[in-house]
A = this chain, B = another copy of it.
Amino acid sequence: MNKGRLEAFSDGVLAIILTIMVLELKVPESADFESLLELFPVFLSYILSFIYIGIYWNNHHHMMHSVSKVNGKILWANLHLLFWLSLVPFATGWMGENHFAKATLTVYGAMLLMAGVAYWILQSIIIKSQGQNSILKKAVGKDWKGLSSPPLYTLGIILSFFNEWLSGAVYIFVALMWLVPDRRIERVIGEQQ
């Protein structure tokens, strides 16, 4: 089994998720800037989710680079990841349309957490399939981003019951953490150790 179709299929699903999210930005009926302003929370939630999908696509791209053979387990673990990511447009729309209400931040965080866990499962299955000299295992050896994300999502979920701003700040922080180029940070961390 080759990995080409798995990559193409995942790319297709991620591209569609990215693009149908914008359908939640419903075209206002009046042609003034005020009606556009009402869409601002939806727009903000769209930006955040766009970045998250971008991060997942980027990471998926890297992870699959190390894979040479795809088996049934990898295939289904990949579909499991796509399942949780397919809920991003729903969670994003609910959060934006309800102006980042507490419950919507809980659900958004839960979706991020489940996607993070699904990504970790996929990664573990690939590492296991590669055996002792796994390339992927070496690459993610000091994967402090991957390791710290699920606890941070959990923190965001807990915070969402008390304060929507703190919760949202955690989700934005995780996104920025992934966005900042790896090498420089890793060098800094390397020097501190």
Using a CB–CB distance below 8 Å, which chain A residues touch chain B?
A: 1, 5, 7-9, 11-20, 22-25, 27-33, 36, 47, 50, 54, 57-58, 61-62, 65, 72-73, 75-76, 79, 82-83, 86-87, 89-90, 93-94, 97-98, 101-104, 107, 179, 181-182
Contact = CB atoms under 8 A, between A and B. Distances in A.
Nearest to A33: B103
24 contacts: A1-B65, A5-B61, A9-B11, A12-B12, A12-B16, A13-B19, A16-B16, A18-B86, A19-B20, A20-B23, A22-B89, A22-B90, A27-B90, A27-B94, A27-B97, A29-B97, A31-B102, A31-B103, A33-B103, A36-B107, A50-B79, A50-B83, A54-B76, A76-B179
Given A13-B18, A182-B72, A103 B32 contact: yes
Contacts of A12: 11-12, 15-16
A19 B16 contact: yes
Given A33-B103, A61-B1, A103-B33, A14 B9 contact: yes
Given A11-B8, A57-B9, A94-B31, A20 B18 contact: no
Could you say how many copies of this chain the assembly holds?
A: 4
A19 B22 contact: no
A50 B76 CA distance: 11
A108 B92 CA distance: 24
A34 to B, nearest CB: 9
Contact of A11 (B5, B30, B94): B5
Contacts of A57: 9, 79
Given A61-B5, A90-B27, A15 B16 contact: yes
Nearest to A87: B22
A28 B94 contact: yes
Contacts of A25: 87, 90
A145 to B, nearest CB: 13
